[in-house]
Amino acid sequence: MELLLEQLELFAEVVAVSRSRHVDSWGRVAVRRALRWARYLRHVHGRFRHRGPVRAVLEEGLRRLRLRSQSGVGDAAHAGRCQELVPGPLRSFAGLGRGDELLALGLLENAALRGPALHELLRHLRPERVEPAPEAGDEDEAGLQDRLAGLARRRAASQLLLLLSPGPAQADPALRSTEAQLLLRRLHDEAEADPGAAARLLDRLWAQLPRPRWLNVLATALLLRPDRAEGENHDEEDPGTPADPRQGAIASLLAWLLARPAALADLCRLLPSSLIASLAGRHSALAEACLGVLMNWGSRLHFNPVRGAWVGAGLEGLPWEELRDRFRCLCQAPAPLRDQARSVLDTCKARDGGFEAPGLSVWTDLLRDIEGRSMLRVLF
């Protein structure tokens, strides 16, 4: 088993090299060997897939391996540098069965790979192999072609279905929920290796990815049902997966969000009101936190008598209209969120003296507005 894990670790490095500029030293033989190696791991995957105990040991080993690579105890410094290039799934049991695909795709798109080496790879993608395959490799070889073709077909299929999307393709809800599912899967895998890893990953992604879009992905992930039936599980026949991998991932995402005031503020500011209300409706801790942020913004508004409006929340806050929309949505949500939002408004209004006249307390005006009596009608 140890030997197998070592081999897997080495193969992960091979894949990392295949995606780096160091691949320029590869010739035909190196490509052939790497593919043979991938085939061997695929064979291992096929053999132990249905054998719970062996598989469990192997998965435990993979977890340790991930942990080691993350803490930077990699043997070769050069491989350590390449760790970022190893696709996440390769370091899981399901990934064992897909090494050849990842290798082939990595090589194909790596411009550093030289002509003869690429030629060797392409030779493996044709139906008639020149080289005889002694260790029952024929089936796998056809398997690699079929899986790559299947991938192309699925991509074409999603492109075709995207033609139906009325708005821009990027806005399609299916895209967002796919990203959200993959995020949760990754969080789950990370948390298994090291409880702190999920938060580190989220910090890195927060710094790296464009804000409104990434927030949408986070929100979608928080709204996904913790349900196995939707097929979160990446290996359907996986006997070793805990009953609900999604729930744990959602919990760690929520914990991360609640501990990051800046992220929470961005969430309240940049996402549409209805989405915030759905999130708050699903997670009570988030409801409390969001109401806290909104309360803070509200208290920083002041009434401008010349303009007859509430102004000035600073760069971080929200203008009055948007604050009103957020509260309106929250107050229209089902109980207990509705009551919670209402009670925040009532408490704040009481704290300001409980006056009914407009323009004195932002909370009074918000309440009036939400109750359907616009300020204009009261004034004139």
Which residues in this chain contact other proteins in the complex, by CB under 8 A?
87-89, 98, 101-102, 105-106, 108-109, 115-116, 118-119, 122-123, 125-128, 145-149, 151-164, 169-170, 172-175, 177-179, 181-183, 186, 205, 208-210, 213-214, 217, 230-231, 234
Residue 52 or 173: the one with the smaller Cβ distance to other proteins is 173
Residue 82 or 331: the one with the smaller Cβ distance to other proteins is 82
Q: How far apart are the first and last CA of the chain?
A: 82
d(CA 238, CA 14): 26
Structure tokens at 277: 């209300």
Contact 65/8 with Cβ under 8 angstroms? yes
Q: How far is the CB of 67 from other proteins (least distance, A)?
A: 16
Residue 1 or 161: the one with the smaller Cβ distance to other proteins is 161
Contact 323/299 with Cβ under 8 angstroms? no
Query: Taking CA 225 as the corner, what is the angle to CA 219 and CA 226, rounded to the nearest 5 degrees?
Result: 115
Contact 290/284 with Cβ under 8 angstroms? no
Q: What is the DSSP string of 61-88?
A: HHHHHHHHHHTT--SSHHHHHHGGGS-G
Residue 29 or 122: the one with the smaller Cβ distance to other proteins is 122
Residue 213 or 300: the one with the smaller Cβ distance to other proteins is 213
Residue 210 or 353: the one with the smaller Cβ distance to other proteins is 210
Q: How far is the CB of 185 from other proteins (least distance, A)?
A: 8
**63 C-beta neighbours (distance < 10 Å), count:** 17
Q: How far is the CB of 335 from other proteins (least distance, A)?
A: 25
Q: How far is the CB of 53 from other proteins (least distance, A)?
A: 27
d(CA 320, CA 2): 62
How many secondary structure helices (H) and strands (E) does the chain include? 19, 2
Residue 1 or 174: the one with the smaller Cβ distance to other proteins is 174
Q: How far is the CB of 156 from other proteins (least distance, A)?
A: 4
Q: How far is the CB of 72 from other proteins (least distance, A)?
A: 17
Q: How far is the CB of 79 from other proteins (least distance, A)?
A: 17
Buried b or exposed e, range 330-343, using 16+ CB within 10 angstroms: bbebeeebeebbbe
Residue 220 or 364: the one with the smaller Cβ distance to other proteins is 220
Q: Name the residue among 91, 52, 257, 56 with its Cα closest to residue 189.
A: 91
Q: How far is the CB of 141 from other proteins (least distance, A)?
A: 13
